[in-house]
Structure 1
Amino acid sequence: MNAFHIIEIKNHLRRESLSDIESIFVVEPTIRMSIVAAIEKISAGFPSPAQDYIDKKIDMNEHLIRNECATFIVKVASLSMINAGIDIDDELIVDRSLDAKHDDIVVALIDNDFTVKRLQIDLNERWLKAENPEFKDIHLKEGQQLIIWGVVTFILKKARK
């Protein structure tokens, strides 16, 4: 392990101890962006015959945002949700108007720190599950308060680096 990797690990641990969230942005859907949608679904397995048919345009604001006044983009700063497909620097669309349910991925506030975890609700408690075995689940201690800040509705990530 070289010095660069050690610095990266130290920076990662420092970030993790503070918060899972790097930044929060308000969604401002004043610009409309539409992209073309194909009529046919594509196969993720074996190739199918090519289809060049275009159905309509999809307005990305309508597709991704239900309630623009309560929607934010949150940038992730840890690997605690990597097994849910959420990596460092991914952006999450978070809707604060939704009621969180069991198994939702949520942005939560605990002890003035934001975290992204999967909400678990059972008969005795509400707790937060990390989707990475290297990170601990969060079970509240006496005196701690769990505030569900919003529900993650989409994960925005690049497919090509």
Structure 2
Amino acid sequence: MNKTNLKIHPSVQSLKLSLPYADGGIKAGFPSPAQDYMESAIDLNKELIKHPASTFYGRVKGDSMIDANVHDGDILVIDKSLEPQNGDMAVCFIDGEFTIKYIRLEKDVIWLEPANENYEPIKVTIENDFLIWGIVTYCIQNKRRR
């Protein structure tokens, strides 16, 4: 089976770390002289986590979602309180292992679809021990490692 495994960690909301924040946005085109300074601060826990009691971090292991720009070593923010919707990137528990896949919900079947042509979709059947564990809301990447 084509799994992308995860190490799951709870989010810790008691920590507060405010970092300088370019509130006006960072231009991807020509730089603006008005952006020469940082005006405010941002707390990434507040920015990335909407439901603290049901949010976890997971570190990606594997390459089955590489065409969705999810790479080995990336950190996912996973919200267990969200209702799964067709096309969501989800962390699923299937037959004793975690995997990250897009979910395709059909009337009588669920498909787990990788984002890498080297892997086949997984058809979830009644024989599988299966749970949609949480929905991926953010992917945090180290852009320097590649």
Scaled by the length of structure 2, what TM-score is found? 0.88
Within 2, Cα distance between the matches of 1:99 and 1:39?
Answer: 31
Pick one of 78, 85, 91 that aligns with 1:101: 85
Within 2, Cα distance between the matches of 1:22 and 1:104?
Answer: 17
Within 1, Cα distance between the matches of 2:6 and 2:51?
Answer: 23
Name the structure where helix makes up a greater proportion of residues. Answer: 1
Q: Cα distance, 1:139 vs. partner?
A: 0.9
Q: Once the two structures are superposed, what CA deviation does each residue of 1:134-159 show, in whole Å capped at 9, x if it has no partner? A: 01111124412431000111111111
SS at match of 1:139: strand
Report the number of matched residues.
144
Conservation of the 8 A alpha-carbon contact between 1:128 and 1:137: yes
After superposition, the CA RMSD in angstroms is: 1.8
Larger radius of gyration: 1
For residue 27 of structure 1, what is the amino acid of its counterpart?
A: S
For residue 69 of structure 2, what is the amino acid of its counterpart?
A: G
Q: Percent identity?
A: 29
Q: Cα distance, 1:25 vs. partner?
A: 0.9
SS at match of 1:54: coil
Within 2, Cα distance between the matches of 1:42 and 1:135?
Answer: 37
Equivalent runs, 1:1-161 vs 2, <5 Å: 19-44=3-28, 46-50=29-33, 51-161=35-145
Which structure's relative contact order is higher, taking Cα pairs within 8 Å and 6+ residues apart? Answer: 2
Q: Once the two structures are superposed, what CA deviation does each residue of 1:51-77 show, in whole Å capped at 9, x if it has no partner? A: 224332111111111122111111111
Give unpaired runs (5+ residues) of structure 2: none
Name the structure where strand makes up a greater proportion of residues. Answer: 2
Conservation of the 8 A alpha-carbon contact between 2:6 and 2:98: no
Q: Once the two structures are superposed, what CA deviation does each residue of 1:33-92 show, in whole Å capped at 9, x if it has no partner? A: 111222322332x32323224332111111111122111111111100001111111111
